Structure 1
């Protein structure tokens, strides 16, 4: 995959602004209307120990996607929103423009989110602690932004620090001062490392230009 060197913060795509805006809108609705907030949690919170008995009215698989729209507090929301826009902008650029590019990026983001949720369930299958937040998909975008900025070496430069930080959290276990889903982060990151070049090859509008 040929590196695409351009500033990460330039030209934020509309699809990213819509995605980030949805985080804010859902957070605000949940805060203003507690019953609606409870419904959002029921639909979106990943609860590994619930298994097929998950209470979501949309079925036990809905949290694998919808957890990305939920956040546990203002700081959680701000960090994930800003980071998703920042790294997502870099990750989006090689897709080009147009409907196909938008679809490709969103599919990539949510595949990484599903991978993160899946690894969380595999690592802690009996846990009843809910996992929420966009950081599963965001973790995939961190690796993707590295791919876009500097190819394989760029990916390593972006992915290794984030992966190492989450491995440290895993080693610390209950001693960790941060209640972060290291498995969710690593699942999204691994998916981003492995799948981003495939998604760009399949969905990039730039590769179809003549």
Structure 2
């Protein structure tokens, strides 16, 4: 209420209509959409080949992408290009749908943030993919180093996904954001490496560490070289 001689308050302004919500895939960088499509397509073809086909594609993918150490490397060979091809192609080979979907979830969640500083042009996409596969290669290398005398086959996008985890922290919160996201995860993985001989879990902890460390250290350099130019 207003008393005599007092101006009445102005009428409330019309509320602004809420901005239309954009479809979730519109917010994802093209590089992430392309990478996700490749991971899904490779696993779908692998599953179909192993379950309903003649198994030829499955065997070819295992030969191309499975990172072998120890006795498995002796039996199957190290893979094309002296083992160099599996060191990078293992991101497209997964041991079941749950394995693939878990890794894909991390790629989508953290990769979207990590890819944005690279922009949407071809140069930026190339830089993002180089970073992604650098994390994968580092993860495969550390796995092979730690398990050279053990019989293993490692596969999955988790090596590179761990690099995207750290990169997402860099992209959203700088060094502090990266450390907040990555240091607890790194500590957990180091603990798991130490106790895994008693647990014997089918998880490539050392591969995860290699990818994570690469993301923690190398992401700013990749963005500096391939990221969007400002000014």
Instruction: State if a TM-score over 0.5 links the two structures.
Output: yes
Aligned partners of 1:72, 1:41: CA distance in 2, in Å?
10
Residue 122 of structure 2 is aligned to residue 99 of structure 1: yes
Aligned partners of 1:96, 1:25: CA distance in 2, in Å?
25
Aligned partners of 2:199, 2:181: CA distance in 1, in Å?
23
TM-score normalised to structure 2 length: 0.81
Matched with 2:40 is 24
Greater Rg, structure 1 or structure 2?
2
Matched with 1:38 is 59
1:10 and 1:89 in contact (8 A); partners too: no
Return the match for 2:111 from 82, 88, 92: 88
Residue 214 of structure 2 is aligned to residue 191 of structure 1: yes
**SS class of match (1:130):** strand
Q: Which structure exhibits the higher relative contact order, with contacts defined as CA atoms closer than 8 Å and separated by 6 or more residues?
A: 1
Aligned partners of 1:42, 1:22: CA distance in 2, in Å?
18
Aligned partners of 2:82, 2:216: CA distance in 1, in Å?
29
The structure-2 alpha-carbon separation of the partners of 1:126 and 1:142, relative to structure 1 and needing over 3 Å to count, comes to same
Return the match for 1:13 from 26, 29, 32: 29
1:43 and 1:58 in contact (8 A); partners too: no
Q: 1:23: Cα distance to partner?
A: 1.2
Aligned partners of 1:145, 1:125: CA distance in 2, in Å?
31
Matched with 2:158 is 135
Aligned residue-pair number: 199
Q: 1:57: Cα distance to partner?
A: 4.3
Q: 1:173: Cα distance to partner?
A: 1.8
Larger deviation, residues 56-65 vs 72-81: 56-65
Return the match for 2:85 from 49, 62, 80: 62
Q: Deviations over 1:153-204 (max 9, x none)?
A: 1001111122122112111123236311010000001111110000000001
Q: 1:10: Cα distance to partner?
A: 8.0
Aligned partners of 1:55, 1:152: CA distance in 2, in Å?
37
The structure-2 alpha-carbon separation of the partners of 1:123 and 1:32, relative to structure 1 and needing over 3 Å to count, comes to same
Task: Please report the RMSD computed on the Cα atoms of aligned residues, expressed in angstroms.
Answer: 1.8
Residue 181 of structure 2 is aligned to residue 158 of structure 1: yes
Larger deviation, residues 23-32 vs 105-114: 23-32
2:88 and 2:137 in contact (8 A); partners too: yes
Which structure 1 segments of 5+ residues have no match?
1-8
1:47 and 1:127 in contact (8 A); partners too: no
Q: Deviations over 1:63-112 (max 9, x none)?
A: 00100001001110111011111110011111222111101100000001
1:95 and 1:105 in contact (8 A); partners too: yes
Matched with 1:3 is none
Q: 1:13: Cα distance to partner?
A: 1.0
Larger deviation, residues 29-38 vs 54-63: 54-63
The structure-2 alpha-carbon separation of the partners of 1:57 and 1:140, relative to structure 1 and needing over 3 Å to count, comes to closer
Query: Runs in 1 of length 4+ with deviation above 4 angstroms?
Result: none
